[in-house]
Amino acid sequence: MTPFRFPDPPAGFRWQPLGPGEPLEALASRRFPARHGFTCRVRTRQADAPPLGVRDSLEADLDLLERAAGVQAVHALRQVHGNDVQVLRRAARPDAPAAGDALATLIPRTAVAIKAADCVPVLLTDPVSGAVAGAHAGWRGTLVRVVEAAVRALAAEAGAPPSRLRAVIGPAIRACCFEVGPEVVSAFREKGHDVDGFALPPRAAGRPHLDLVLANRLQLLTAGLPEDGIEDAGLCTRCQPAFHSYRREGPTVGRNWSVVVAGR
């Protein structure tokens, strides 16, 4: 493993244990009103700690996250880069994860987890009911507005207006590193997105860059969240070796986990 250090957290965030169980360090917002965390490639600050997020180790990762968070179950999805939202109403983890890219629940002491290796992870909560949701937004999910779908589903499940919900955006590839082909920009335009608001022009002879984090922030605002109800970790997975990054490491890359726990 390439040596790295934990990046300094941005203002309003800190590195802390995910929960009262196994000491797993995760990046967390100081203001987001639900227990949560964004993991990186190791379990603790110890140099010899075993990895977390190794590719194709879903069950082992979820078991570790359950122990670390001290919850009855952590649920994940078979993510397909779409906009389907699953609503969890049974605490027990199923034999096989359902397909989808957003997961919501109202069950106390139950967590939902999103895995990503550059895609944008968005965690949501209703601070009154304790309901939570997680959304996985790569460029394809952003294109079909998965975050807006997650807001609608969580608001319905919680019986809350979208303006009461709160969101935190985790580490993801940023505009500095997310180069795309012109056909991707065209796809956003054809789907009715104001792509000029989050597309950067080509650099010299290069290709355009997209600011996927900004695109998803705009979707949260469109869905009804207030400006001051959205926080952003501000870290680029491609730039920070502490995080798994598909653009940096290729198809054998691991996954970063974004976890949020339901309950007040």
Give the CATH number of the domain where residue 80 resides. 3.60.140.10
In a domain, 96, yes or no: yes
Residue 6 lies in a domain: no
At residue 257's C-alpha, the angle toward residues 256 and 263, to 5°, is 165
Q: Pick out the chain residues at pLDDT < 50.
A: 1
Torsion sign (Cα): 63, 69, 72, 78: negative
| Closest listed residue to residue 5, CA positions, set 252, 235, 259, 258 | 235
The SS3 assignment for 89 reads coil
Check: CB of residue 32 under 8 Å from CB of residue 73.
no
Distance CA 141, CA 191 (A): 12
For helices 212-223 and 146-158, angle between their N-to-C axes, nearest 10 degrees = 40
Strand-pair category, 85-88 with 25-29:
unpaired
Residue type, 226: P
Report pLDDT for 159: 97
**Closest by CA position to 229, among listed 122, 146, 152:** 122
The dihedrals phi and psi of 132, each to the nearest 5 degrees, come to: -140, 165
174 within a domain of the structure (yes/no) = yes
Backbone angles phi, psi at 250, to 5 degrees: 90, -170
What does the pLDDT read at residue 112? 98
User: Looking at the domain assignment, is residue 107 inside a domain?
Assistant: yes
Answer yes or no: is 46 within a domain. yes
What does the pLDDT read at residue 110? 97
pTM above the 0.85 mark? yes
Q: Is residue 146 part of a domain?
A: yes
**Token digits for 24?**
């797993």
pLDDT of residue 46: 66
In a domain, 8, yes or no: no
Q: What's the confidence (pLDDT) of residue 204?
A: 62
CB 134 within 8 A of CB 113: yes
Q: Is position 2 within any domain?
A: no
What is the number of structural domains in the chain? 1
Residues 6+ apart with CB under 8 A from 57: none
Alpha-carbon gap, residue 103 to 108, rounded angstroms: 15
Burial bucket for residue 183 (CB in 10 Å: 0-12, 13-18, 19+): exposed
Residues spanned by the domain of 166: 15-261
pLDDT, residue 99, reads 97
Size of the chain, expressed as the number of residues it contains: 264
Q: What pLDDT is stored for residue 43 in this prediction? A: 72
